[in-house]
Structure 1
Amino acid sequence: MFAIDHGIAQKWWVKPFVNLTRAMPLDPTRPMATRTLIKAVNEGNTLVIFPEGRISVTGSLMKVYDGAGLIADKTGANVVPVRIEGLEATPASYLNSAQVRRRWFPKVTVTILEPVKLEVAPALKGKARRHAAGAGLYQIMSDLVFRTTPIDRSVFDAVIEAAKVHGESRVALEDPVAGKLTYRKMLAGARVLGSRMAPFAPEGGAIGVMLPNAGGAVVTVLAVMSAGRVPAMINFTAGAANVLSACTAAKVETVLTSRGFVEKAKLDRLVAEMSGKVQIVYLEDLRAGIGLGDKLKGLWNRRRPLVKRSGSDPAAILFTSGSEGAPKGVVLSSKNLLANAAQAAARIDFGREDKVFNVLPMFHSFGLTVGAILPLVSGVPVYLYPSPLHYRIVPELVYASNATILFGTDTFLSGYARTAHPYDFRSLRYLLAGAEPVKEATRRVYMEKFGLRILEGYGVTETAPVLAINTPMFNRFGTVGRIMPGMEARLEPVPGIDEGGRLYVRGPNIMMGYLKADAPGVLQPPEAGWHDTGDIVTIDAEGFVTIRGRAKRFAKIAGEMVSLAAVEALAAEAWPGAMTGVVARPDARKGERLILVTDARGATRADIQAVSKAKGASELMVPAEVRVIEKLPVLGTGKLDLVTLGRDIAAEEQAA
């Protein structure tokens, strides 16, 4: 039996097929049709149904009707997920020419996965059960989209395939200095530049990349990949000691950068300190040696990498933020990066009509994977801007570029909200935030001033990076969304913490392993594939993850475990818009005491005590001391530099 939309069934060219098959037209105004289908399945009939209720008009997974899930739940029948790809690119497609590049004979693939049972909690009844059945079927369908997306190939090969599917003349990159760059020019440039990489590292070795968010940075990363080397993304805001430690861990002997960037970013001192340890190579010098013959050769061979690499080979090395200690090298394979891109694409509806505005630096895992690789392999143009701190300029450029997707942290988003005109973000469809908790004040101003929901996500460098995300269909304020498809999660109990546990995750996007300065070049893979996030979380019955705090960021006061992140959340309500950090210090009487540092002028302990009382929070969450300083130390990603903050407070106490 074939379930078909009532409107489609009425079309003259469809009616003959309806009459020849066991088709049942479904009308949303006739809810009793679901019962008829349940009866048919219970009688032993096989049912074919599009759970989205219609042919996709976006090219991505749309909403899944609860009724389709209810049929599977009520009958106990197996669900056989099927994906049909390629027909959307034919001239008869429902998608317009802006959404898809049409072709007469596109490759059509039909993938049929193994049957699965829809799992719904037995205790649920009525509407709650119907909703849970729909959510369960959506999970099955998003898993289908993820599992049928090719990820076992190199990133460079995936970009070449995207150019083939979407057209080499399509704009891939744009920035305010170099302008627009098509796939053709980008791939040709990567091929030409890649031919100059051999002297800087052996095949499979690491080459440092220290560049701002710009088209040239993406071309350089692709060039290193094409040459069979691994780009190690240098965090130029981390300070010379951390940068050199990172280079030691990854065995980086050469760092690629630009004279113009070094001059404008005032990195002369950093480069001078690095020069004695690693070779600094300027892109301007490499370009000077490229002639017309090299360019023509690169254009001719643009569809082939210089060195063939597999999906299991290392593709990039990123470094942990250093917010809690010395940075570690995180080795990510092409399969890791493409898996995370596929996971995001299975949950977020986006396509060729979108444009990503990326202000997050590419030494940040979100800036590299979600802000560059995901759109490039999906045919979505990327507008790159070098600094997220230009609070007046960024909203203007979002408006001018007609961007539809913007990424940011709470710190950056609150900065944009203060200066942006209410119409600046008119074109945005998605506003995604991560790296730090989104404050209620930030959510409120974006909803009231711009009419936008902030979709909060959660990721770590080791998961390439997205681990969980809220989506338009499944969004719950106060959480970071649901675990990505294809991933497993488990919670380990933590002594002294009653609610939640320490989160461990496993999946295709989990890193290959760590590189550490005390064992340069030695890959240390996660044990049995499980990564310890170090975060204490809870996961509710619907799969939404709530972060309670870092395992390292709990203080034991009078025998009770207190989350420093929870104290910072109270401070955010006491002083909206201010930056706040909490540090635990030894205390002879209670074990530990909390010191809160903020840039909120006139802040007092009484302020946070009042908020704590109003919220019904424990008295132990009220800091023993509140200190007001002009500026708190931050990392290049906008996150608070907890190491420096703790060191400064300890130094002050010793001096006293």
Structure 2
Amino acid sequence: MNLSSQLHETAKRLPQKPAYYFMDQSSTYAELDGAITKFASGLEKLGVKKGDHIGLLLGNSPFFVIGMYGALRLGATVIPINPIYTPDEIGYILNNGDVNTIIALDLMVPLAEKVHHALPMVENYIICETPQGKEANVDVTQLSVFPKLKSFTDVLATGELSFQGPELDEDDVAVILYTSGTTGKPKGAMLTHKNLYSNARDVGIYLHMNEDDRIITTLPMFHVFCLTVSLNAPLLSGATILIDPKFSPKEIFRLAKEYEPTIFAGVPTMYNFLYQYPEGDPKDLKSLRLCISGGAAMPVALLKSFEEKFNVMISEGYGLSEASPVTCFNPLDRPRKAGSIGQSIVHVENKVVNELGEEVPPGQSGELIVRGPNVMKGYYKMPEETAATIRNGWLYTGDMATMDEEGYFYIVDRKKDLIIVGGYNVYPREVEEVLYNHSEIIEVAVIGVPDPNQGEAVRAYVVKKDPSLTEEAVLAYCREHLAKYKVPSAIEFLEELPKNTTGKILRRALKDQVTKS
């Protein structure tokens, strides 16, 4: 079984059930499945075949859902790409990923015209027409000088509902997800049909997703968190997804009031924005049975404040691209532990090991490693990096963690973010948790900076609620709650912290600023 065939089975079972809402327009499972079949057929007529690589440069929209599932039904490999990446970043992924067909928004046509000579392997540019493109005077029909350009609508129209598609092997690569490149160039994690299907199925089971659920899909679809938790798992469960093109607190509260969603998934900064939104009425979120947080560790103070204000439980989980991505979630039928990423989901094993790969006792810190049907095939064209990351069937995550006596895991921090102050280990998250408990602090990020005496020193970047809050007041607060070597050497106030497109705070960007200065 795979994602595409399972969606087809759901469409036969629930043909008139709404599969999604987008811009207040709905599509049934039968309509969605028909569009996917026709798009797969249309791709085949363009010469796209099983095993070809298709790049998706799309935001949250039906184009993404139909494009991805249509490509999978044809047996092609999908490479989702953040459309706001720079031309160099996009070009690297397209070239490294051997992409020969691109599906993109019409707003990207001017860029395609400029760079297509540098991408001779790309045979088709399938353009999705949008209202924003029309406003920018991008007219796909007038671009005959660019013969590789096709309209998404036309490709869909040429397809046939009788299309069957090739046989798919569960070990065929379905998606290649490029990591964010925190260490060097991005690496393409190869996820098979088995990887994606098993993780979506197991997440759906673990979170009790069913046909009555309505999920707000506001996380970026090109990101693995959304791909599995807010797109694939709901569609496998026969649920309805509420596609939100771009996160904003105002729109989330509107969707909640209008469609009565049952599940919301987001990263901690999204919860912070919702919590701080002055016009956010807790009554509008009363239909939610569950909130899901991932992508980064959620400060315990924020988790408790959000739950108290909106009267809904947040289940924090953990995942990474190389594991499709979910490995842990806080259970719904047993106690939730604030600050924990929960327990291993069904069919997935997690354990904490020392530098020799030996499991450490409960409470002791080590590297989190993972094993299961969700673990990637490897990195595309990178056998050495694959061998270093997957050892004896275990995926080494690079995250430091502990496990308690009841099998709940706690992320201590990224291995590479560890700060060593005079020989003492300082984990940024520990300092951040203390600062998040300060009533006048909205957001915080902690990094290590070079220090001539101690090797490294702790520095905190803070977004404050009260303009009169001073550096000395924050440092005094830290001295009350932290050991001396963990206290920041400096506090820098910023209007906002750098974030990626999912809203995850980027310590890396702050480190880069220090290096440049």
- Is the pair's TM-score, using the shorter chain for normalization, greater than 0.5? yes
Query: What amino acid is aligned across from residue 569 of structure 1 in structure 2?
Result: E
Contact 2:348 2:373 in 1 (8 A): yes
Contact 1:500 1:536 in 2 (8 A): yes
Aligned-partner Cα distance in 2 for 1:523–1:271 = 36
Aligned-partner Cα distance in 2 for 1:570–1:205 = 49
User: Structure 1: which 5+ residue stretches go unaligned?
Assistant: 1-152
Q: Does 1:307 align with 2:166?
A: yes
SS at match of 1:318: strand
Offset of residue 330 of structure 1: 1.3
**Counterparts of residues 232-251 of structure 1 (less than 5 Å):** 232-251=79-98
SS at match of 2:70: helix
- Show the counterpart of 1:283: 128
Q: Does 1:385 align with 2:256?
A: no
Q: Does 1:182 align with 2:182?
A: no
SS at match of 2:249: coil
Question: For 1:216-242, what per-residue CA distance to the aligned partner results, in whole angstroms no more than 9, with x for missing partners?
Answer: 210111111112111101012343333
- Show the counterpart of 2:203: 344
Q: 1:462 to 1:651 in 2, by over 3 A?
A: same
**Counterparts of residues 350-361 of structure 1 (less than 5 Å):** 350-361=209-220
Q: Does 1:484 align with 2:349?
A: no
Q: Does 1:192 align with 2:18?
A: no
**Counterparts of residues 442-457 of structure 1 (less than 5 Å):** 442-457=302-317
SS at match of 2:283: coil
From 265, 270, 275, the equivalent of 1:417 is 275
Contact 2:176 2:191 in 1 (8 A): yes
Offset of residue 347 of structure 1: 2.1
Aligned residues: 482
SS at match of 1:372: helix
Larger Rg belongs to = 1
Offset of residue 508 of structure 1: 0.6
From 499, 511, 517, the equivalent of 1:646 is 511
Offset of residue 465 of structure 1: 1.0
Aligned-partner Cα distance in 1 for 2:494–2:364 = 34
Offset of residue 365 of structure 1: 0.7
- Show the counterpart of 2:452: 588
> Over aligned residues, Cα RMSD in angstroms?
2.7
- Show the counterpart of 1:620: 485
Query: What amino acid is aligned across from residue 422 of structure 1 in structure 2?
Result: P
Offset of residue 522 of structure 1: 9.7
Question: For 1:356-379, what per-residue CA distance to the aligned partner results, in whole angstroms no more than 9, with x for missing partners?
Answer: 111011111111111111111111
Aligned-partner Cα distance in 2 for 1:647–1:525 = 25
Offset of residue 569 of structure 1: 2.0
Q: 1:379 to 1:445 in 2, by over 3 A?
A: same
TM-score (norm 2): 0.86
Offset of residue 271 of structure 1: 5.2
Q: Return structure 1 stretches of 4+ with deviation > 6 angstroms.
A: 518-525
Aligned-partner Cα distance in 1 for 2:440–2:91 = 37
From 436, 455, 459, the equivalent of 2:319 is 459
- Show the counterpart of 1:610: 476
Question: For 1:550-581, what per-residue CA distance to the aligned partner results, in whole angstroms no more than 9, with x for missing partners?
Answer: 11011111111111222222222236553322
Aligned-partner Cα distance in 2 for 1:354–1:238 = 33
From 226, 251, 273, the equivalent of 1:367 is 226
Offset of residue 493 of structure 1: 1.9
Query: What amino acid is aligned across from residue 350 of structure 1 in structure 2?
Result: M
User: Structure 2: which 5+ residue stretches go unaligned?
Assistant: 130-149
SS at match of 1:208: strand
Question: For 1:152-192, what per-residue CA distance to the aligned partner results, in whole angstroms no more than 9, with x for missing partners?
Answer: x222111112223x322221121116x11112211211122
Question: For 1:602-633, what per-residue CA distance to the aligned partner results, in whole angstroms no more than 9, with x for missing partners?
Answer: 55443443333443x21111111222233322
- Show the counterpart of 2:427: 563
Q: Does 1:206 align with 2:53?
A: yes
Q: 1:274 to 1:528 in 2, by over 3 A?
A: farther
Offset of residue 270 of structure 1: 6.0
Aligned-partner Cα distance in 1 for 2:222–2:42 = 22
Contact 2:379 2:385 in 1 (8 A): no
Contact 1:249 1:520 in 2 (8 A): no
- Show the counterpart of 2:132: none
From 159, 175, 199, the equivalent of 1:316 is 175
SS at match of 2:365: strand
SS at match of 1:235: coil
SS at match of 2:198: helix
Identity %: 25
Aligned-partner Cα distance in 2 for 1:580–1:326 = 27
Contact 1:315 1:334 in 2 (8 A): yes
Q: 1:606 to 1:228 in 2, by over 3 A?
A: same
Question: For 1:132-162, what per-residue CA distance to the aligned partner results, in whole angstroms no more than 9, with x for missing partners?
Answer: xxxxxxxxxxxxxxxxxxxxx2221111122
Query: What amino acid is aligned across from residue 403 of structure 1 in structure 2?
Result: P
From 499, 504, 521, the equivalent of 2:364 is 499
- Show the counterpart of 1:7: none
**Counterparts of residues 214-293 of structure 1 (less than 5 Å):** 214-259=61-106, 262=107, 275-278=116-119, 279=122, 280-284=125-129, 285-289=150-154
Offset of residue 524 of structure 1: 8.9
Offset of residue 444 of structure 1: 3.1
Offset of residue 643 of structure 1: 2.7
Aligned-partner Cα distance in 1 for 2:152–2:516 = 48
Query: What amino acid is aligned across from residue 346 of structure 2 in structure 1?
Result: P
Offset of residue 355 of structure 1: 1.0
**Counterparts of residues 50-199 of structure 1 (less than 5 Å):** 153-164=1-12, 166-176=13-23, 179-198=25-44, 199=46
SS at match of 2:288: coil
Aligned-partner Cα distance in 2 for 1:268–1:614 = 56
- Show the counterpart of 1:539: 403
Offset of residue 582 of structure 1: 2.2
Contact 1:514 1:525 in 2 (8 A): no
